[in-house]
Structure 1
Amino acid sequence: MKRILVTGSNGLLGQKLTDLSLADPEIELIATSTGPDRHPARAGYIYEELDVLDKVRIEELVAKYRPDAIIHTAAMTNVDACENDHEKCYALNVESVKYFVEVCEKNDIQLVHLSTDFIFDGEDGPYTEEAEPNPLSYYGQTKLEAEQLIKESNCRWAILRTIIVYGIVSDMSRSNIVLWAKAALEKGEPINVVNDQWRMPTLAEDLAECCLLAVKNNARGVFNASGKDLMSIIEIVQRVADYWNLDKSLIRPISADTLNQAAKRPKKTGFILDKTIRVLGYQPHSFEEGIAIMEKQLLERNA
């Protein structure tokens, strides 16, 4: 039996971790997030409100529940918002990590931390775990700084780097590229989509499974944890249109340079997954398999 404390449990990844934990008799889950619990189950696990910047509260919860592992999913991930509010971004993406590192060191708890492809500049993707980071955005800088904090610590740690997470939560409170494209195209709305950036989108269930594999294997080190299909952003949207037989003529290709976004994005990321597959037994779905899982969930939700 593993007792796992998850931060950010109201988010997409956090809710999928709750789903998987409920289905696994070997896991005892303490789900934590800001505000009331958003997961529909409301039973079979413990929920506690937690602000990840409240060091005293973090220590209280760890003393109360004595988790074997903490999976730290909470972060500020809106890349442009991070660029425009350095203070908030640094607090959530670096300061909070310091608190979890300290509490994990003190109590011999494994720390599983989520990181991102945005620590890279996109000039040489796809990347191995050993590739040299060079973030282009403040978001990427803070995620890299958090990684470095963890690597220099004395706790048992695993860092999982991921890319564009997609999936659905029961109350549909979280959007992502797949849901956005599907909704717009179903309404017949033209959408502008960049054609000069490449990514490997990650099904939320796959990433949640990888987090739990890291705990069960007491993994140590950096692991790439994304989907397995590398494609341009516009191809992601085109494949969404193909799956649901939507009008691809509504998809308008544009260059990323025309968007005037606050934060610069890497051109081509993507990950080489060999290590994670070999060491953790990670088995990500293809993009179409991921969409099929989402469609099944949408049909069940609307039934």
Structure 2
Amino acid sequence: MRTLITGASGQLGIELSRLLSERHEVIKVYNSSEIQGGYKLDLTDFPRLEDFIIKKRPDVIINAAAMTDVDKCEIEKEKAYKINAEAVRHIVRAGKVIDSYIVHISTDYVFDGEKGNYKEEDIPNPINYYGLSKLLGETFALQDDSLIIRTSGIFRNKGFPIYVYKTLKEGKTVFAFKGYYSPISARKLASAILELLELRKTGIIHVAGERISRFELALKIKEKFNLPGEVKEVDEVRGWIAKRPYDSSLDSSRARKILSTDFYTLDLDGMVV
């Protein structure tokens, strides 16, 4: 099977490429960080994007590319829209021409964070432009034969857990937003996606870790690695531009019922530091 991965140099893309290479012919597409054996492609160059997909004729397209800097999305809205939404429309359009199965990675930030433990059927209501752009991407991706995977707080060599580890290791203080989310290691998410590919699921499914506050998570990291710095809980983080949902945690019970992969348990060993 031939599988095309956009965002192949990102945290999830790296783990997907590693896992899928064992069973699939993998076409790795990147834009910023160069990777061996990959193709550099600007996803906002829509004619070239569609042409590339149609010529490569992948059986599966996994769209793991996104502009994920929440504050940057709030400032550079046009760019965020092009990458997180409009590019998805062109990926889907080209994919339909060659009958590709499309898997689109989305986010917990499509929700407002008022209640947490969001199910697939809950109505999205983003409170920042990142969430809105990703929700628009979902509308373009949602077809009869496609799958949208919403996830939360992916980490590998970047993300909140990595920031916590490095800051505490230096003996500094981590100021942790007291809100909740459902962090998952890129390694575990990639394993779950591989199983979903084999099941050929469609629609929307939530694949994320257990609900935890960033404060609690920071304390777990401090304890596990015996780090010297301090952890303090705050209502907001200085310097933030965009609003953040207070509790964007996802209910992944549907995925846990159909998958044998243990993606739910917090995987701090999945950090690359």
TM-score category, normalised to shorter length: over 0.9
Which residue identity is paired with 1:28?
A: E
In the TM superposition, what are the counterparts of 1:46-195 in structure 2 within 5 Å?
Answer: 46-151=37-142, 153=143, 156-168=145-157, 175-195=158-178
Distance across 2 between alignment mates of 1:129 and 1:282:
19
Distance across 2 between alignment mates of 1:105 and 1:60:
13
Q: Aligned pair in 2 of structure 1 residues 36, 272: CA closer, same or farther (>3 Å)? A: closer
Q: Specify which of 202, 224, 233 is matched with residue 206 of structure 2.
A: 224
Aligned to 1:3: 2
TM-score by length of 1: 0.85
Distance across 1 between alignment mates of 2:45 and 2:259:
32
Q: Specify which of 258, 265, 269 is matched with residue 292 of structure 1.
A: 269
Q: Specify which of 218, 226, 233 is matched with residue 237 of structure 1.
A: 218
Q: Is the 8 A contact 1:10 1:33 kept in 2?
A: yes
Q: Please state whether the residue corresponding to 2:193 is helix, strand or coil.
A: helix
Q: CA RMSD in A?
A: 1.8
Q: Please state whether the residue corresponding to 2:68 is helix, strand or coil.
A: coil
Per the TM alignment, residue 146 of structure 1 is displaced from its structure 2 partner at its CA by: 1.2
Distance across 2 between alignment mates of 1:14 and 1:260:
29
Which residue identity is paired with 2:175?
A: N
Aligned to 1:274: 253
Which residue identity is paired with 1:242?
A: E
Question: Sequence identity, in percent?
Answer: 30
Per the TM alignment, residue 158 of structure 1 is displaced from its structure 2 partner at its CA by: 0.3
Where in structure 1 are there 5+ consecutive unaligned residues?
A: 169-174, 299-303
CA deviations 1:121-180 (Å, max 9, x no partner) are 1112101111111110011111111112222x46x2100001001113xxxxxx221221
Q: Is the 8 A contact 1:71 1:211 kept in 2?
A: no
Which residue identity is paired with 2:226?
A: N
Which residue identity is paired with 1:291?
A: L
1:262 and 2:241 correspond = yes
Q: Please state whether the residue corresponding to 1:29 is helix, strand or coil.
A: strand
Distance across 2 between alignment mates of 1:293 and 1:189:
23
Q: Is the 8 A contact 2:177 2:233 kept in 1?
A: yes
Distance across 1 between alignment mates of 2:261 and 2:111:
23
Q: Is the 8 A contact 2:12 2:189 kept in 1?
A: yes
Per the TM alignment, residue 62 of structure 1 is displaced from its structure 2 partner at its CA by: 2.3
Distance across 1 between alignment mates of 2:32 and 2:154:
22
